[in-house]
Structure 1
Amino acid sequence: MRNALVLSLLALFLGGCASNPADRDISGTWINQVAIDAAAKGVPLREALQAYGPNLEWDINTKAGQARYTNGFENVDGKLLGEESGTWKVDFYGSSASELKRDGKQLSQSASDNEPEQVFDRTQVPVPEGAPIGASFERALYSAYLGGGWTIASGPGEGSTVQFQADGQVTGLPGSDRYALCLAGDCASMSGGNDNMWLQLNGQGNAWIFARKGKELEIFQAVNTAQADEMPSFTPGERKWLLEKQ
């Protein structure tokens, strides 16, 4: 009886030890699901990204000692240092550092002088092999923010159904077969705080300003108010479409 009890306790102890490394493992792709969930409620996209960003996705390989992230504008590569008490430090080649810690199913990035604390979830969205970093976040965002059917309530194609696909394809919107949402960078700085998207057909396209309010999506022409030798500065022009979520 005593031997059986000792063996049971030993098995329990070893099992607990074996599970700990897995519980702390941070390898894989993690996305800023909190920002996606906030945007999916129908608020302006930039408002959600600024509130819960700026980082959108982490890609981590603990065996290779590699960690990288994207904020939608730049992709940053770092060196993953050893774990200490469940905390992993990422060194960006002497310029700065980040601390990451897994808390159950989430990955926390500690606050620093430059960035607030941020939380990430393991991606559940499959992406094609060789897809660039940020593709997992982008697909998850597109599905949550614009997924499902939209009826053209006003504008060309009125009455038709528009479908924005997670891979950037769009159907039912006259003159467009692909789209991309502006997440950060030059496209954001040129739009004066407005949300904007890129619409194209057969590889040729233009920037458009949009406004999402609940189940309504307005798409406006982007009017460039800058001089020819200046960086473009877009402001909303005539409304082209009003879409309503089905």
Structure 2
Amino acid sequence: MRQALPLALAALLLSGCASHKPEDFNGTWINQDAIKAAIKGGSLRQALNEHGPVLEWKLDVANQQASFSNGFEAVDGQLTSNEKQMQANFQGSLVEQLMLDGDELKTTDQSGSEQNFVRSKLPGNAPLGGSFEKALYQAYLGGDWKIIDGDGKGGVVRFADNGSVTGLPGPDRYALCLAGDCADMGGSNDSMWLERNQRGAPFIFKRDDDRLEIFRAVNRAQPDEKPQLAAGARQWVLERD
């Protein structure tokens, strides 16, 4: 009897840890590790590269749909299940293994590389990749930024999570370059797009904790080469209150 009770409790605990229903996979999952690394300072590109490439998953068990975003493109595939995990299959024989570990979604690709995701707290009707972007924008650029150097000195700038910006002389929209051609053009530099009335230009930026420097982007490539953007004249220095 003394042995039976501990064994029964152990079995109960183990079964509880593994008791995930297929529908528990449903929803939008974002790469919180990448966001945490980014807000520590340093290079945004490096944080995303080290904790990527996938930034967001959307899973729909009932319709056997799996989609992911890497910040540049959206990829749709088919979701299948077995007793303990899900498998996402994509064109080109790309396969990802998905399993739940507590409140986290863990994924493993064919090379054995693993990533962790947490469930998004935003409404599920956001476009693929939008939930990660909003969460990143809130954490990375949220709050009040004071212009301490540049046009509009003394003013307060606010970067909203929907891509709008107020208080920065000229532009009223922004987007961080996360991946793909947009990011590749900046090389090792972090870059963003600033625009007004659908007319804009790329800028190089450097963020160090609560200090943000924004530079004009200079293209150092030849006319027949892919653009290679480098930091030109500094336009603004912002500090977050």
Task: Tell me the TM-score normalised to structure 1 length.
Answer: 0.87
Name the residue aligned to 1:181. 176
CA RMSD of aligned residues (A): 1.9
Name the residue aligned to 1:9. none
Name the residue aligned to 1:214. 209
CA contact (8 A) 1:23 1:104 kept: no
Match for residue 109 of structure 1 among 107, 110, 119: 107
Query: C-alpha separation between the residues in 2 aligned to 1:214 and 1:21?
Result: 39
Residue type of the alignment partner of 2:93: S
Residue type of the alignment partner of 1:100: L
Pick which of 36-45 and 196-205 moved more.
36-45
**Deviations along 1:129-159, whole A, 9 cap, x unmatched?**
4x42000000000000000000111000111
**Deviations along 1:87-135, whole A, 9 cap, x unmatched?**
111111452200000111100012432x7210000001237x4x42000
Name the residue aligned to 2:120. 123
CA contact (8 A) 1:79 1:93 kept: no
Query: C-alpha separation between the residues in 2 aligned to 1:221 and 1:27?
Result: 43
Shift of 1:51: 1.4
Name the residue aligned to 1:99. 97
Residue type of the alignment partner of 2:64: G
**Deviations along 1:16-41, whole A, 9 cap, x unmatched?**
88x93448721100000111111122
Structure 1 gaps, min length 5: 1-12
Shift of 1:167: 0.3
Distance 1:65 1:36, change over 3 A: same
Query: C-alpha separation between the residues in 1 aligned to 2:234 and 2:31?
Result: 31
Match for residue 155 of structure 1 among 150, 156, 181: 150
Name the residue aligned to 1:6. none
Within-5 A mapping of 1:137-156: 137-156=132-151
Query: C-alpha separation between the residues in 2 aligned to 1:44 and 1:94?
Result: 32
Aligned identity (percent) is 50
Task: Tell me the TM-score normalised to structure 2 length.
Answer: 0.89
CA contact (8 A) 1:27 1:62 kept: yes
Within-5 A mapping of 1:204-243: 204-243=199-238
Number of positions where the alignment pairs a residue of Structure 1 with one of Structure 2: 227
Pick which of 158-167 and 222-231 moved more.
222-231
Residue type of the alignment partner of 2:173: R
**Deviations along 1:214-242, whole A, 9 cap, x unmatched?**
11111000001112222211111011111
**Deviations along 1:174-203, whole A, 9 cap, x unmatched?**
001000000000011111110000000111
Structure 1 residue 63 corresponds to structure 2 residue 45: no
Query: C-alpha separation between the residues in 2 aligned to 1:62 and 1:108?
Result: 16
Match for residue 135 of structure 1 among 130, 133, 154: 130
CA contact (8 A) 2:30 2:120 kept: yes
Distance 1:107 1:40, change over 3 A: same
Partner of 1:212, secondary structure, is strand
Query: C-alpha separation between the residues in 1 aligned to 2:49 and 2:79?
Result: 26
Residue type of the alignment partner of 2:217: A
Residue type of the alignment partner of 1:47: Q
Shift of 1:59: 0.3
**Deviations along 1:47-98, whole A, 9 cap, x unmatched?**
11011111100000001111010101221111111223x2111111452200
Pick which of 230-239 and 160-169 moved more.
230-239
CA contact (8 A) 1:108 1:118 kept: yes
CA contact (8 A) 1:151 1:161 kept: yes
